[in-house]
Protein backbone atom coordinates (compact mmCIF):
# COMPACT_ATOMS: atom_id res chain seq x y z
CA UNK A 1 0.00 0.00 0.00
CA UNK A 2 1.47 3.35 -1.01
CA UNK A 3 1.20 6.29 1.30
CA UNK A 4 0.36 9.85 0.40
CA UNK A 5 1.79 11.01 3.73
CA UNK A 6 4.44 9.30 5.80
CA UNK A 7 6.00 10.54 9.00
CA UNK A 8 8.79 8.75 10.84
CA UNK A 9 10.20 9.53 14.28
CA UNK A 10 8.99 13.10 14.05
CA UNK A 11 10.20 15.34 16.81
CA UNK A 12 9.15 18.93 17.37
CA UNK A 13 9.09 21.18 20.36
CA UNK A 14 7.22 24.46 20.86
CA UNK A 15 8.29 26.14 24.05
CA UNK A 16 8.65 24.13 27.22
CA UNK A 17 5.14 22.83 27.54
CA UNK A 18 4.43 21.21 24.20
CA UNK A 19 6.31 18.53 22.36
CA UNK A 20 5.67 16.09 19.58
CA UNK A 21 7.89 13.07 20.02
CA UNK A 22 8.42 9.92 17.96
CA UNK A 23 5.41 10.57 15.81
CA UNK A 24 4.88 7.99 13.08
CA UNK A 25 1.92 8.45 10.81
CA UNK A 26 0.90 6.84 7.51
CA UNK A 27 -1.90 8.05 5.31
CA UNK A 28 -2.72 5.62 2.51
CA UNK A 29 -3.03 7.08 -0.95
CA UNK A 30 -6.66 7.69 -1.79
CA UNK A 31 -7.74 7.46 1.84
CA UNK A 32 -10.04 9.82 3.65
CA UNK A 33 -8.02 10.11 6.81
CA UNK A 34 -9.63 11.60 9.89
CA UNK A 35 -7.20 13.10 12.30
CA UNK A 36 -8.87 13.21 15.69
CA UNK A 37 -7.72 14.78 18.86
CA UNK A 38 -8.83 17.16 21.57
CA UNK A 39 -7.96 20.84 21.39
CA UNK A 40 -4.26 21.41 21.94
CA UNK A 41 -3.34 17.81 21.19
CA UNK A 42 -0.99 18.80 18.33
CA UNK A 43 -3.15 18.30 15.26
CA UNK A 44 -2.51 21.71 13.74
CA UNK A 45 1.18 21.52 14.57
CA UNK A 46 1.42 18.13 12.88
CA UNK A 47 -0.29 19.52 9.78
CA UNK A 48 2.04 22.49 9.66
CA UNK A 49 5.01 20.17 9.97
CA UNK A 50 3.55 18.07 7.19
CA UNK A 51 3.32 21.06 4.84
CA UNK A 52 6.70 22.52 5.69
CA UNK A 53 5.35 25.50 7.60
CA UNK A 54 7.25 24.42 10.71
CA UNK A 55 10.69 22.93 11.01
CA UNK A 56 10.94 19.60 12.85
CA UNK A 57 13.80 18.93 15.22
CA UNK A 58 14.10 15.42 13.87
CA UNK A 59 12.44 12.72 11.87
CA UNK A 60 11.38 12.37 8.29
CA UNK A 61 8.30 13.61 6.47
CA UNK A 62 7.32 12.48 2.98
CA UNK A 63 4.25 13.89 1.28
CA UNK A 64 3.19 12.77 -2.22
CA UNK A 65 6.62 11.26 -2.60
CA UNK A 66 8.41 14.52 -1.86
CA UNK A 67 10.54 15.11 1.16
CA UNK A 68 9.42 17.95 3.40
CA UNK A 69 10.62 20.66 3.76
CA UNK A 70 13.19 20.27 0.95
CA UNK A 71 10.59 19.66 -1.73
CA UNK A 72 7.82 21.67 -0.14
CA UNK A 73 7.07 23.94 -3.14
CA UNK A 74 6.66 20.94 -5.47
CA UNK A 75 4.44 19.18 -2.92
CA UNK A 76 2.40 22.27 -2.15
CA UNK A 77 1.64 22.72 -5.85
CA UNK A 78 -0.28 19.41 -5.64
CA UNK A 79 -1.82 20.01 -2.22
CA UNK A 80 -4.90 21.94 -1.26
CA UNK A 81 -4.73 23.35 2.22
CA UNK A 82 -7.49 24.78 4.35
CA UNK A 83 -6.02 26.05 7.60
CA UNK A 84 -7.70 26.24 10.95
CA UNK A 85 -7.85 30.06 10.84
CA UNK A 86 -8.61 32.01 7.65
CA UNK A 87 -5.25 32.85 6.13
CA UNK A 88 -6.16 34.81 3.02
CA UNK A 89 -5.43 38.51 2.62
CA UNK A 90 -8.41 40.24 4.18
CA UNK A 91 -8.13 43.39 2.11
CA UNK A 92 -8.80 41.57 -1.17
CA UNK A 93 -12.21 40.90 -2.65
CA UNK A 94 -13.35 37.36 -3.38
CA UNK A 95 -12.53 37.80 -7.03
CA UNK A 96 -9.10 39.26 -6.29
CA UNK A 97 -8.36 36.40 -3.92
CA UNK A 98 -9.28 34.02 -6.75
CA UNK A 99 -7.00 35.69 -9.22
CA UNK A 100 -4.14 35.91 -6.75
CA UNK A 101 -4.43 32.30 -5.66
CA UNK A 102 -4.89 30.90 -9.15
CA UNK A 103 -1.72 32.63 -10.35
CA UNK A 104 0.33 30.23 -8.24
CA UNK A 105 -1.36 26.98 -9.35
CA UNK A 106 -0.95 25.76 -12.91
CA UNK A 107 -3.67 23.16 -12.34
CA UNK A 108 -6.25 25.78 -11.40
CA UNK A 109 -9.68 24.82 -12.77
CA UNK A 110 -11.31 28.12 -13.52
CA UNK A 111 -14.53 26.66 -14.82
CA UNK A 112 -15.06 24.57 -11.74
CA UNK A 113 -14.10 27.49 -9.52
CA UNK A 114 -16.84 29.53 -11.17
CA UNK A 115 -19.31 26.73 -10.59
CA UNK A 116 -18.34 26.51 -6.94
CA UNK A 117 -18.79 30.25 -6.54
CA UNK A 118 -22.30 29.88 -7.84
CA UNK A 119 -22.99 26.84 -5.68
CA UNK A 120 -21.59 28.47 -2.59
CA UNK A 121 -23.38 31.73 -3.42
CA UNK A 122 -20.32 33.87 -2.84
CA UNK A 123 -20.33 37.53 -3.82
CA UNK A 124 -17.26 38.06 -5.99
CA UNK A 125 -17.02 41.74 -5.23
CA UNK A 126 -17.14 41.46 -1.47
CA UNK A 127 -14.09 42.11 0.64
CA UNK A 128 -12.81 39.10 2.53
CA UNK A 129 -12.87 41.10 5.73
CA UNK A 130 -16.63 41.50 5.25
CA UNK A 131 -17.35 37.80 4.72
CA UNK A 132 -19.17 35.84 7.37
CA UNK A 133 -17.40 32.90 8.97
CA UNK A 134 -19.40 30.50 6.82
CA UNK A 135 -18.62 32.38 3.63
CA UNK A 136 -14.96 32.47 4.51
CA UNK A 137 -14.98 28.73 5.19
CA UNK A 138 -16.57 28.09 1.83
CA UNK A 139 -14.09 30.35 0.08
CA UNK A 140 -11.13 28.62 1.69
CA UNK A 141 -12.50 25.25 0.63
CA UNK A 142 -13.24 26.55 -2.85
CA UNK A 143 -9.67 27.76 -3.34
CA UNK A 144 -8.29 24.46 -2.13
CA UNK A 145 -10.54 22.41 -4.40
CA UNK A 146 -10.26 24.53 -7.55
CA UNK A 147 -6.55 23.92 -7.75
CA UNK A 148 -7.38 20.23 -8.38
CA UNK A 149 -5.04 18.87 -5.74
CA UNK A 150 -3.93 15.28 -5.29
CA UNK A 151 -3.98 15.80 -1.56
CA UNK A 152 -6.39 17.87 0.48
CA UNK A 153 -5.25 18.85 3.93
CA UNK A 154 -8.12 20.29 5.91
CA UNK A 155 -7.48 21.58 9.38
CA UNK A 156 -10.77 21.82 11.27
CA UNK A 157 -12.49 22.99 8.07
CA UNK A 158 -15.98 23.04 9.55
CA UNK A 159 -15.16 24.39 12.96
CA UNK A 160 -17.62 27.11 13.88
CA UNK A 161 -19.72 26.72 10.75
CA UNK A 162 -23.45 26.30 10.86
CA UNK A 163 -24.86 22.88 9.88
CA UNK A 164 -25.95 24.00 6.42
CA UNK A 165 -22.57 25.41 5.48
CA UNK A 166 -20.86 22.44 7.07
CA UNK A 167 -22.83 20.10 4.87
CA UNK A 168 -22.10 22.20 1.76
CA UNK A 169 -18.40 22.12 2.47
CA UNK A 170 -18.22 18.41 3.21
CA UNK A 171 -20.39 17.59 0.21
CA UNK A 172 -18.00 19.50 -2.03
CA UNK A 173 -15.09 17.56 -0.59
CA UNK A 174 -16.82 14.23 -1.04
CA UNK A 175 -17.79 15.04 -4.62
CA UNK A 176 -14.24 15.99 -5.41
CA UNK A 177 -12.83 12.85 -3.86
CA UNK A 178 -15.30 10.68 -5.74
CA UNK A 179 -14.21 12.29 -9.01
CA UNK A 180 -10.47 12.53 -8.46
CA UNK A 181 -9.61 9.73 -6.07
CA UNK A 182 -7.61 12.29 -4.10
CA UNK A 183 -6.28 11.72 -0.63
CA UNK A 184 -7.91 13.76 2.11
CA UNK A 185 -6.36 14.44 5.46
CA UNK A 186 -8.94 16.09 7.66
CA UNK A 187 -8.43 17.04 11.25
CA UNK A 188 -11.22 17.68 13.64
CA UNK A 189 -12.29 17.35 17.20
CA UNK A 190 -15.86 16.78 16.02
CA UNK A 191 -15.90 13.01 16.05
CA UNK A 192 -19.33 12.49 14.53
CA UNK A 193 -18.37 14.48 11.50
CA UNK A 194 -15.45 12.23 10.66
CA UNK A 195 -17.33 9.05 11.51
CA UNK A 196 -19.52 9.48 8.45
CA UNK A 197 -16.90 10.34 5.86
CA UNK A 198 -13.52 8.87 6.85
CA UNK A 199 -12.16 5.42 6.13
CA UNK A 200 -9.04 5.82 8.22
CA UNK A 201 -8.61 7.43 11.57
CA UNK A 202 -5.65 8.64 13.58
CA UNK A 203 -6.02 9.81 17.15
CA UNK A 204 -3.65 12.33 18.58
CA UNK A 205 -3.28 13.39 22.17
CA UNK A 206 -0.60 15.36 23.99
CA UNK A 207 1.71 15.28 21.01
CA UNK A 208 1.51 11.51 20.56
CA UNK A 209 -0.35 9.39 18.05
CA UNK A 210 -2.58 7.23 20.24
CA UNK A 211 -4.04 5.06 17.51
CA UNK A 212 -4.08 4.78 13.75
CA UNK A 213 -6.36 2.24 12.12
CA UNK A 214 -9.12 1.78 9.56
CA UNK A 215 -12.35 3.40 10.62
CA UNK A 216 -14.28 0.11 10.63
CA UNK A 217 -11.76 -1.43 13.01
CA UNK A 218 -11.98 1.58 15.24
CA UNK A 219 -15.75 1.60 15.30
CA UNK A 220 -16.25 -2.14 15.68
CA UNK A 221 -13.26 -3.01 17.82
CA UNK A 222 -14.10 -0.98 20.92
CA UNK A 223 -16.83 -2.48 23.07
CA UNK A 224 -18.35 -2.02 26.47
CA UNK A 225 -18.64 -5.37 28.28
CA UNK A 226 -20.65 -6.14 31.40
CA UNK A 227 -18.83 -8.90 33.24
CA UNK A 228 -19.99 -10.82 36.32
CA UNK A 229 -17.49 -12.41 38.68
CA UNK A 230 -14.65 -10.68 36.89
CA UNK A 231 -11.15 -11.93 37.74
CA UNK A 232 -8.82 -9.63 39.64
CA UNK A 233 -6.09 -10.10 37.05
CA UNK A 234 -6.89 -10.15 33.37
CA UNK A 235 -3.80 -12.06 32.34
CA UNK A 236 -3.45 -13.14 28.70
CA UNK A 237 -6.72 -11.75 27.35
CA UNK A 238 -7.12 -11.84 23.54
CA UNK A 239 -8.35 -8.21 23.64
CA UNK A 240 -6.95 -5.01 25.10
CA UNK A 241 -8.63 -3.97 28.32
CA UNK A 242 -8.83 -0.20 28.22
CA UNK A 243 -10.67 0.29 31.52
CA UNK A 244 -12.73 -1.52 34.14
CA UNK A 245 -15.25 -0.11 36.51
CA UNK A 246 -17.05 -1.75 39.41
CA UNK A 247 -20.81 -1.30 39.12
CA UNK A 248 -23.70 -2.54 41.24
CA UNK A 249 -23.16 -5.91 42.90
CA UNK A 250 -20.57 -8.21 41.33
CA UNK A 251 -20.95 -6.85 37.78
CA UNK A 252 -18.12 -4.79 36.32
CA UNK A 253 -18.07 -2.63 33.21
CA UNK A 254 -15.08 -3.21 30.93
CA UNK A 255 -14.02 -1.16 27.90
CA UNK A 256 -12.00 -3.28 25.50
CA UNK A 257 -10.35 -2.84 22.15
CA UNK A 258 -9.89 -5.47 19.48
CA UNK A 259 -13.00 -7.37 20.39
CA UNK A 260 -14.15 -10.34 18.32
CA UNK A 261 -17.35 -12.35 19.01
CA UNK A 262 -15.29 -15.53 19.46
CA UNK A 263 -13.59 -14.05 22.49
CA UNK A 264 -16.50 -14.85 24.79
CA UNK A 265 -14.73 -18.15 25.52
CA UNK A 266 -12.06 -16.30 27.40
CA UNK A 267 -14.52 -15.42 30.20
CA UNK A 268 -15.62 -19.01 30.63
CA UNK A 269 -11.96 -19.99 30.99
CA UNK A 270 -11.40 -17.54 33.87
CA UNK A 271 -14.66 -18.32 35.69
CA UNK A 272 -16.41 -15.10 34.77
CA UNK A 273 -19.66 -14.57 32.94
CA UNK A 274 -20.14 -12.14 30.08
CA UNK A 275 -23.57 -10.63 30.52
CA UNK A 276 -23.67 -8.03 27.77
CA UNK A 277 -21.63 -6.69 24.81
CA UNK A 278 -22.47 -3.07 23.90
CA UNK A 279 -21.31 -1.38 20.66
CA UNK A 280 -19.77 2.05 21.26
CA UNK A 281 -20.13 4.82 18.74
CA UNK A 282 -16.97 6.59 17.55
CA UNK A 283 -17.21 9.37 20.08
CA UNK A 284 -17.55 7.02 23.02
CA UNK A 285 -14.68 4.95 21.70
CA UNK A 286 -12.64 8.07 21.20
CA UNK A 287 -13.27 9.23 24.76
CA UNK A 288 -12.45 5.84 26.19
CA UNK A 289 -9.30 5.70 24.12
CA UNK A 290 -8.12 9.03 25.42
CA UNK A 291 -9.07 8.17 28.98
CA UNK A 292 -6.99 5.04 28.77
CA UNK A 293 -4.09 6.86 27.20
CA UNK A 294 -4.13 9.48 29.93
CA UNK A 295 -4.37 6.99 32.80
CA UNK A 296 -1.32 6.78 35.05
CA UNK A 297 -0.39 3.37 33.64
CA UNK A 298 0.35 5.03 30.32
Partner 1 sequence: MFRMMLYTQWKWSRLLVVAGTLVAFAIPVLSVQSAGEYNLQHWEARALLNSIESWGLAYPILAAGLAVFMAMTAWGPDHRGRHVYALSLPVPRWHYALLRFGAGAVLLAVPVLAVWIGALVGTASAVIPPGLHAYPYALALRFALALLFAYAVFFAISAGTTRTAGYILAGIGAIIVVQVMARAAHVEFDLVGTIFGRMLGWPGPLEIFTGRWMLIDV
Partner 2 sequence: MSERRLAVALLAVLAGAAPAAGQDAAALRARIARVEPIWRAAARLANLVDSTRRFGPLDTLRSGPLTVYASPQLAPLVRDAMARARPILDSVYGQETARLAAHRWYVVPAMSVEYSGSGFVIPVPEAPSLDLILTNLLVQASYVYGQDEWLGGFYGYDLHPERALADAYIELVTAPSGAARGCLLGSLPDCALAFGLIPGADTVMQWYDAQERRQLVGQTDFYRRRAEQAAFDACTAGSDAACVGLLRSTQTYIYIPRPLGSISRTSLLRTAFQLGGSGAFHQWIGYARSPAARLAAAAGASTDSLLSTWRAEVLAARPKTVIIPDRTAWVTLLWGTVLTLVALRSTRWR
85 binds partner 1 (CB under 8 A): yes
Chosen residue from 42, 52, 157, 285 binding partner 2 by CB under 8 A: 52
* Site for partner 2 contains 69 (CB under 8 A): yes
> What is the Cα–Cα distance from 63 to 51, expressed in whole angstroms?
8
- Contact call for residue 103 and partner 1 (CB under 8 A): yes
Angle at 214 (CA atoms; ends 74, 185), nearest 5 degrees: 30
Q: What x/- string results for residues 251 through 280 when contact with partner 2 is judged by CB under 8 A?
A: ------------------------------
Quote the CA–CA distance of 182 and 18 in Å, as a whole number. Answer: 32
Is 198 in contact with 157 (CB distance < 8 Å)?
no
Number of Cβ within 10 Å of residue 276's Cβ equals 12
52: exposed, middle or buried (C-beta count within 10 Å: 0-12, 13-18, 19+)?
Answer: buried
Cβ closest to partner 1, residue 77 vs residue 228: 77
Which listed option, partner 1, partner 2, none, makes contact with residue 74 (CB within 5 to 8 Å by class)?
partner 1
Q: Does 129 bind partner 1 (CB under 8 A)?
A: no
Residue 10: strand, helix, or coil: strand
Q: How far apart are the first and last CA of the chain?
A: 31
Closer to partner 1 by CB, 95 or 283: give it. 95
Long-range contacts of 56-59 (CB under 8 A, 24+ apart): 56/10, 56/11, 56/12, 57/11, 57/12, 57/13, 58/9, 58/10, 58/11, 59/7, 59/8, 59/9, 59/10, 59/11, 59/23
| Listed ranges 51-59, 179-187, 230-238, 270-278: which one lies at the site for partner 2 (CB under 8 A) | 51-59
Tell me if 53 contacts partner 2 by CB under 8 A.
yes
Q: Counting contacts by CB under 8 A, is residue 105 touching partner 1?
A: yes
Q: How far is the CB of 68 from partner 1 (least distance, A)?
A: 12
Tell me which of partner 2, partner 1, none is bound by residue 103, counting a contact when its beta carbon lies within the kind-specific cut-off of 5 to 8 angstroms.
partner 1
Using rule CB under 8 A, residue 59 touches partner 2: no
- Answer yes or no whether residue 99 interacts with partner 1 by CB under 8 A: yes
- Is 137 one of the binding residues for partner 1 (CB under 8 A)? no
Name the minimum Å distance from CB 56 to partner 2: 10
Minimum Å gap between C-beta 92 and partner 2 is: 22
Q: Which helix (H) or strand (E) holds 25?
A: strand 18-28
Reference 45, options 25, 74, 75; nearest CA is 25
Question: Choosing among partner 2, partner 1, none, which partner's interface includes residue 67 (Cβ < 5 to 8 Å by kind)?
Answer: none
Q: Which does 55 bind (CB under 5 to 8 A by kind): partner 2, partner 1, none?
A: partner 2
Three-state DSSP state, 22: strand
Regarding 66 and contact with partner 2 (CB under 8 A), the answer is no
Q: Which of 42, 52, 134, 207 forms a contact with partner 1 (CB under 8 A)?
A: 52
Q: Rounded distance, CA 7 to CA 226, Å?
A: 39
Residues belonging to the chain:
298
Size of the site for partner 1 (CB under 8 A): 23
**Contacts to partner 1 by CB under 8 A:** 51-53, 73-77, 81, 83, 85, 87-92, 96, 99-100, 103-105
Amino acid sequence: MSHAIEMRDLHYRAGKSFEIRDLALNVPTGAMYGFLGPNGSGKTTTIRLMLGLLRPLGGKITVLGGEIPREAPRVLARTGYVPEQPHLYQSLTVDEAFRFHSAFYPTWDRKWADELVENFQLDRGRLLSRLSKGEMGKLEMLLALAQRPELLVLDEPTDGLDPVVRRDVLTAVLEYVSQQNATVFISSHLVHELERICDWVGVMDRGRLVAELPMHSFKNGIKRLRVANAPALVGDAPFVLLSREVGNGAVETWIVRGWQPTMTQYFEGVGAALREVVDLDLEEGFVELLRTFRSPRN
